[in-house]
Amino acid sequence: ETGVTQSPTHLIKTRGQQVTLRCSSQSGHNTVSWYQQALGQGPQFIFQYYREEENGRGNFPPRFSGLQFPNYSSELNVNALELDDSALYLCASSLGPSTQNTEAFFGQGTRLTVV
């Protein structure tokens, strides 16, 4: 079975631009969660999608939005990029939304640099 894959691995954007990050979930997984990991920090929860619906959201502004597709892959969109958005963005997929019942498998992340 394939693991969680994220694309692109790196990208550089200019402040004010928009960016789309992509995540292919592990085979059979219906849940995708997105985390932002700033340099020297632990990952912070952005939001989770379960069966194409948003299932929970962290403390991030509305310019962070997402989608989950029928094949359970997902996109993270960030509008009006700010310098502080520079971070490693991690996608995690799981068999369900609860941390109690399922293990989350993380991708290698997308390193976003905003200049």
**22 in Cβ contact with 108 (< 8 Å):** no
Query: In the complex with other proteins, which residue's Cβ is closer, 14 or 100?
Result: 100
Asked if 107 interacts with other proteins (CB under 8 A), we say yes
Asked if 30 interacts with other proteins (CB under 8 A), we say no
Among 30, 45, 52, 73, binds other proteins (CB under 8 A): 45
Among 43, 64, 85, 112, binds other proteins (CB under 8 A): 43
Asked if 33 interacts with other proteins (CB under 8 A), we say yes
* Cα(53)–Cα(36) distance, integer angstroms: 20
* Cα(93)–Cα(102) distance, integer angstroms: 10
Query: In the complex with other proteins, which residue's Cβ is closer, 81 or 110?
Result: 110
* Cα(32)–Cα(4) distance, integer angstroms: 10
Stretch that binds other proteins, among 11-19, 62-70, 78-86, 94-102 (CB under 8 A): 94-102
Structure token pair of residue 92: 């995690």
| DSSP secondary structure string for all residues of 61-91 | -TTEEEEE-TTS-EEEEE-S--GGG-EEEEE
If DSSP codes are grouped into helix, strand and coil, which group holds residue 13?
strand
Please report, as ranges, the residues that interact with other proteins according to CB under 8 A. 4, 33, 35, 40-45, 48, 50, 55-56, 58, 90, 92, 97-100, 103-104, 106-109
